[in-house]
Amino acid sequence: MLADPERCRETIRALPMIADPAEIDPDDARPTAHVRTCLRCQAELVRYRTVLRMLRQLREEGVGVPDGAVVEVLEALTAAYSGRPPGRAARRLALVGGLTVAAVAGMATATVAAGRTRAARAAPAS
């Protein structure tokens, strides 16, 4: 019995979803029926199921918590409890404030410089 290449291609396209029993479309039994009869599609299904199994195992594995990360959150919460902006927000606020002050200072300098230029041009004419 020879595999139907077109059916294999269709099945391969569907495998990322039907490898997960929760995702199988009950109204379309063709891909699963084909997999039962095709060794190559079965091998591909095993690869997808291995990926899914490894992903699910990751849930049980923790990751290292960076030093100071919990304290940072607790400090942000303490600030929130007292109505102050949390640390990171305060840092952003300081940055925005600094940029605003710099922009205002720049505009003021430009205005003064423009005034002096105008005065200098006007002086020889008079």
Task: Tell me how crowded residue 41 is: count the other CB atoms within 10 A of its CB.
Answer: 22
CA 85/CA 125 separation, integer angstroms? 57
Identify which of residues 16 and 97 has a Cβ nearer to another protein in the complex. Answer: 16
Residues of the shown chain interacting with another protein in the complex, contacts defined by CB under 8 A? 1-5, 8-9, 11-12, 16-17, 19-20, 36-44, 47-48, 50-52, 54-59, 61-63, 65-74, 76-77, 80-81, 86, 88
Burial 53-89, CB ≥16 within 10 A → b, else e: eeeeeeeeeeeeeeeeeeeeeeebeebeeeeeebeee
CB of 50 to another protein, least distance (A): 5
CB of 66 to another protein, least distance (A): 6
CA 58/CA 42 separation, integer angstroms? 25
Identify which of residues 88 and 116 has a Cβ nearer to another protein in the complex. Answer: 88
CB of 1 to another protein, least distance (A): 6
Contact yes or no for 52/20 (Cβ under 8 A) = yes
Identify which of residues 16 and 115 has a Cβ nearer to another protein in the complex. Answer: 16
CB of 63 to another protein, least distance (A): 4
Identify which of residues 17 and 113 has a Cβ nearer to another protein in the complex. Answer: 17
DSSP tag of 21:
G
